[in-house]
Structure 1
């Protein structure tokens, strides 16, 4: 087998980043080192501060007036207080990985952390035939402990923009993420003309665990800044920002990835329009828009419509959208720059427009903003519609069976859950140790929640329709729902309506409970209100001809999304809200798909793990201080009995010892007498 193992400098990125390019070899190998890193620390000079787009050492000295090399510092938003990070190869974002579709790649992940276990998930890769390589702790594998390594080997089948990130708790919010780009074999834009934009919100006051666990006000939990490729600014502190260079005569592709923890972001380049061509790795008929709403985990590929561009620098602006009606936060803006040249002196066309087209709205009309025209993703049309057979695996045949599942994402009784079931993380690898896992959810019913290892069985080869709803008493905000192991067809999105005063009114297509109103129900047993919709092909407005494909879709506040897959990819696949606080708190489940085909797909030597619940021997047990009085008395009596028995045993032991001593002495005396009698008599 032809192997290639190397590192390259990726010159097409805005700042020099050491990444990996897999050439046209059959099998490539690279490695990632998971390690700690720190913000605003220069390796050889210590703490730094930001000013005028550069960084300088805090400590006084002859070098204090000279700007330092930016590539050696993770600046984030320039806040002077150092934050601890978990990174790949010491950078944030981690190094990009480029390879071609249908290449096999082995990525050796070494955990060099001191205290924490880790896994790496290859987001958007369906892992067909490689279910143990999905990288979800306690679902597809046991975590990689400090000092250990794990060799991830798989073969991406489809080109597009993907990414990798930790899937252990919320470590990705601490910097453990990077781009994973699968290139086409033909008609690919040259890598130097490809630009990666990784967007996330940033709180420089508290680490992600503190934000989830500590009792903080909403104001303290809110993001302080927005980062583009790990760079941003706080209150115009002149921290270094990201810059992209393009020429009007060239085609440049921007691969935008939502790597954030929980905030919804609004991306735009004022003065330019965006020609959007792909989402989550799959092409659709291009649409020209002015702004893109991007949720955590989503990806959008676009080119700049440079016919409107003049030579000069354009601002990139990224706003945070808050609440269910997507109000723009004006106090925090993420920024970057695009520098446009015009080497061939091409003509410029004036940009005139009355409204702005906004891609990926969670409603059909933008509340209280008549200048925005919404373009939901459900209105995108696949560029390559087909029957989907290319997504099937050899050995799992399609059947004529269709199964429909209603899954309601929300917070009934303040519990982050799906259908009222709060996901509890296993302590074993669900994929390779299914016999050690109990997936029953006793205690859950139509209007009661429970905690369990929530699992949904998918029958081999069947057509699976899922209605992802956001209704009932747990309705809160729009959820970006990600499915591992699949891309799915987006058949329809049912939106809430918007009142004249901008309020969102929940969609009524779904009946949460036949005996009560939707706003009184947890919506754990949802069904279509119109029973003719039980045949999904009869649902008005459903797209069965050319639906767009995604792996992350919004579940709109007060609405629903209808998606379709085929259960032809054996594995245990995680499905969850990609807002990290929601996921780690229980808004997740496992898809147990075609399980009878899994054994032959698991590599030899896959590690196992489990907890320990053994009991110490009863003779070593100490009486509990908090027991009832009669129990305490019984314990005391038992103690006395033990003491008495101990004394008796001691006395018997002493008597036995004394008897043995006496016997030995008698024997010695007898032996001595015989010896004297045998001595000769002296003359």
Structure 2
């Protein structure tokens, strides 16, 4: 790389300095990590005078960011982040220190690493990505797996300079942010921005307009499967936090990010599940497997802790989450407060987040945090664990005899697979659609209802699967819709009725085009979404939080006639207090009914959050309003900087 990179970024990116410290192995030998080498090519530079001098940033990689603070009403900050996207490896040289004998111990013939001892004895800026102990290529930001935890307050402004050092394009989507003022910062390539090419930089700048547990991730191909994802936690001032009295601690240490895992960029069935980038190796036939390093979550007996759990579900692998001998008092989902419900197990579908309060009221010990995979993850019986560690408990006292895929936590489950709000399993299951929003509001009758279907089916045996919404496989446009909306781009749109007008029956032929659903602005809008396949699909709508007013299962024979059924005998809908979400499951051969007020004109992705499904066509674009109603980017290149290579 030439250092005209530095010259370019000095003028186009207002950057703040950071010093890279070397890492030493057990013998004192200097280790230069890939991240350190990348930062030598893409250094974070000092800013001059002007606006950027008021931005708040961490001075060093391992320092607490000043925007991670107790939130006060009407005291916003501008929070700066320097994010270098790069290739890296798990179990690289920087991980060798973890394998020192002083950290290793054996239980029942298997070897483990003492994670608590590691945390207290090794430097905080160590960028070892241990994962499941196997070497694998990954994509990461700033050497971290999972990615950096961005913690801000509601009303802050985030400024993030994303530097792409890879040899492929990328973008970052800020999942949970509405982007009402900045739809051009949503991070979807060819929909709200042009992709960040290799060697380019992009400055994302947006107001934090949605509180709670959110996250950021790449929205390019399957990159989030390989490590490009991290938490985005938005805290509220105490007077805006209705659950503040329920817990004593809301700490970074209790943010949990879970994902199904593959090795070496192989886009196939998941081979493992990781909890905060760590876990037991589940791949069979591995010779000389490394010791297991579990993620640890420390608590003090008697304390009440807010846990924030994010599921970066990549493949068709919904999961269950439980903690031995502890109840989970669920208080929020997708960043939206709900009336608290006590359960013992939570089901997560791709992109969902749940916050719960845990009361550390058991004996001082270690307790298993259990995650179990279903659907495609059931094929390999994938399950993973982490440790809830009470202070003063023996860090190496772990009962591994109960670790089995067959284990299911006893008690009530929230958001069950095949969730049906009719309450057929009311004794041991709570439907997500039956949760109550913390601030219940009466439902307003929609001005328009859209019926949308999701389907995945095998074309012919051995010829692969077809993934569709509204019987159309979505193909990404060649231009960015938001940027070129005034240049006649509408001629390239399609939808189910447009294809029918052309004489195409999309149930008999393969329709593949840029499916755009036109929604009027400033109206109450309803979507009735059905799954025509034997698997649930997690649906995510960008730019909005919606109300889940209905959910149920009709069965394979009836689901194809859902529009006729609903118009003849309306499906059940909530009259008041429906929970708010941005990602929710559509049950297999079932439906989910969403409502939102369309007050943010723009082009918003609407897609299944199972990566192979959406990347192969189970997606659409919701076009809210007319082009003249959409906000223009105030900068001609809309955040995209000149080449930095």
What's the TM-score once normalised by structure 2's chain length?
Answer: 0.75
1:561 aligns with 2:592: yes
Within-5 A mapping of 1:575-614:
575-606=606-637
Aligned mates of 1:107, 1:608 — CA distance in 2: 10
- What displacement does 1:581 show? 0.3
Is residue 497 of structure 2 the alignment partner of residue 461 of structure 1? no
Question: 1:285 is matched with which residue?
Answer: 339
Q: Does 1:90 align with 2:143?
A: yes
| Alpha-carbon distance change, 111 to 354 in structure 1, aligned in 2, over 3 angstroms | closer
Alignment of 1:22-171 (within 5 A): 24-43=75-94, 52=105, 53-54=112-113, 71-79=126-134, 82-113=135-166, 115-171=167-223
Deviation at 1:383, TM superposition (A): 0.7
Q: CA 1:451–1:296 in structure 2 vs 1: closer, same or farther (change >3 Å)? A: same
Cα distance, 1:568–1:245 mapped onto 2, change above 3 Å:
same
Which residue among 528, 538, 541 is the counterpart of 1:483?
A: 541
> Are 2:356 and 1:296 aligned?
no
How many residues matched?
524
Matches of residues 159-308 of structure 1 in structure 2 within 5 Å? Answer: 159-186=211-238, 190-192=249-251, 195-204=254-263, 206-207=264-265, 210-211=266-267, 221-235=268-282, 238-262=291-315, 263-307=317-361
Q: 2:573 matched to which residue of 1? A: 542
Aligned residue in 2 for 1:374: 429
Helix, strand or coil at the partner of 2:477: coil
Match runs of 1:387-402 below 5 Å: 402=447
Query: SS of the counterpart of 2:304?
Result: coil
SS of 1:527's equivalent in the other structure is helix
Distance (Å, rounded) in 1 between the aligned partners of 2:371 and 2:155: 35
Aligned partners of 2:416, 2:557: CA distance in 1, in Å?
Answer: 16
2:371 corresponds to which of 318, 332, 341? 318
Query: Using a 3 Å threshold, how does the CA distance of structure 1 residues 181 and 129 change in structure 2: closer, same or farther?
Result: same
- From the CA coordinates, give the structure whose radius of gyration is larger: 1
2:171, 2:218 within 8 Å by CA — same for their partners in 1?
yes
- SS of the aligned residue for 2:350 comes to coil
Q: C-alpha separation between the residues in 2 aligned to 1:300 and 1:565?
A: 21
Q: What is the aligned counterpart of 1:528 among 564, 576, 584?
A: 564
Secondary structure, counterpart of 1:173 in structure 2: helix
Per-residue CA shift, 1:476-523, capped at 9, x if unaligned?
A: 311000000001000010125xxxxxxxx4373x553xxxxxxxxxxx
**Match of 1:93, SS?**
coil
Is the Cα–Cα contact under 8 Å of residues 215 and 231 in structure 2 kept in the other structure?
yes
3-state SS of 1:476 partner: coil
Q: Is contact 2:450-2:526 (8 Å) kept?
A: yes
Distance 2:594 2:340 in 1: 21
Q: Distance in 2 between matches of 1:354 and 1:461?
A: 45
> Structure 1 residue 337 and structure 2 residue 397: aligned?
no
The answer (yes or no) to whether the contact 1:481–1:578 under 8 Å persists in 2 is yes
Secondary structure, aligned partner of 1:172: helix
TM-score, normalization by structure 1: 0.71
CA–CA distance in 2 between the matches of 1:230 and 1:18?
Answer: 20
The residue that corresponds to 1:516 in the other structure is none
For residue 13 of structure 2, what is the aligned residue in structure 1?
none
Distance 1:406 1:356, change over 3 A: same
SS in 2 for 1:21: coil
The change in CA–CA distance for 1:542 and 1:8 in structure 2 (over 3 A counts) is farther
How far apart in 1 are the matches of 2:552 and 2:599? 27
What is aligned with 2:67? 21
Distance 1:111 1:232, change over 3 A: same
Measured against aligned partners, the alpha-carbon deviations of 1:181-238 in whole angstroms (never above 9, x if no partner) come to 111011566553761110111223x52xx42xxxxxxxxx433321001001114953
Determine if contact 1:40/1:47 at 8 Å carries over to the other structure: no
Deviation string 1:143-168 (CA, Å, 9 cap, x unpaired) is 11122111111112231000000001
Report the Cα distance in structure 1 between the residues aligned to 2:417 and 2:214, rounded to whole angstroms.
23
583-592 or 243-252: bigger deviation: 243-252
Whether contact under 8 Å (1:356, 1:372) holds in the other structure is no
Seen in structure 2, the aligned counterparts of structure 1 residues 401 and 495 have a Cα distance that, compared at 3 Å, is closer
Q: How many Å apart are 1:542 and its aligned residue? A: 1.3
Q: Partners of 1:192 and 1:73 in 2: how far apart? A: 22
Distance 1:261 1:182 in 2: 24
- Looking at structure 2, the residues matched to 482 and 88 of structure 1 have their Cα atoms a distance apart, in angstroms, of 24
Partners of 1:364 and 1:45 in 2: CA distance: 45
Distance in structure 2 (CA, Å) of the matches to 1:44 and 1:249: 35
Structure 1 segments unaligned to the other structure (5+ residues): 11-15, 57-66, 212-220, 344-352, 390-399, 497-504, 513-525, 534-538, 610-683
Contact 2:602 2:630 in 1 (8 A): no
1:447 paired with 2:507, answer yes
Gaps of 5+ in 2: 1-50, 70-74, 106-111, 116-120, 283-288, 394-407, 460-464, 641-645
CA positional deviation for 1:596: 3.4
Distance 1:194 1:85, change over 3 A: closer
SS of the aligned residue for 2:274 comes to strand
CA distance in 1: counterparts of 2:446 and 2:329, whole angstroms: 39
1:362 Cα offset (Å): 3.1
When residues 608 and 96 of structure 1 are mapped into structure 2, their CA distance, relative to the original with a 3 A threshold, is closer
Per-residue Cα deviation, 1:231-251 (whole angstroms, up to 9, x for no partner): 011149532111111123222
1:383 aligns with 2:438: yes
**Structure 1 residues 112 and 9, CA, compared in 2 at 3 Å: closer, same or farther?**
same
- Distance of 2:143 and 2:232 partners within structure 1: 17
Q: 5 Å matches for 1:497-536?
A: 505-506=555-556, 508=558, 510-512=559-561, 527-533=563-569
- CA distance in 2: counterparts of 1:248 and 1:596, whole angstroms: 57
Moved more, 68-77 or 372-381: 68-77
Greater mean deviation of Cα atoms: 169-178 or 152-161 = 152-161
Using a 3 Å threshold, how does the CA distance of structure 1 residues 532 and 271 change in structure 2: closer, same or farther?
same
Q: Is the 8 A contact 1:261 1:580 kept in 2?
A: yes
Q: 1:481 touches 1:553 (CA, 8 Å); kept in 2? A: yes
Matched residue, 1:214 = none
| CA–CA distance in structure 2, aligned partners of residues 282 and 8 of structure 1 | 32
Residue 605 of structure 2: aligned partner? 574
Q: 1:446: Cα distance to partner?
A: 6.0
Once the 2 structures are TM-superposed, how far is the Cα of residue 365 of structure 1 from its aligned partner? 7.8
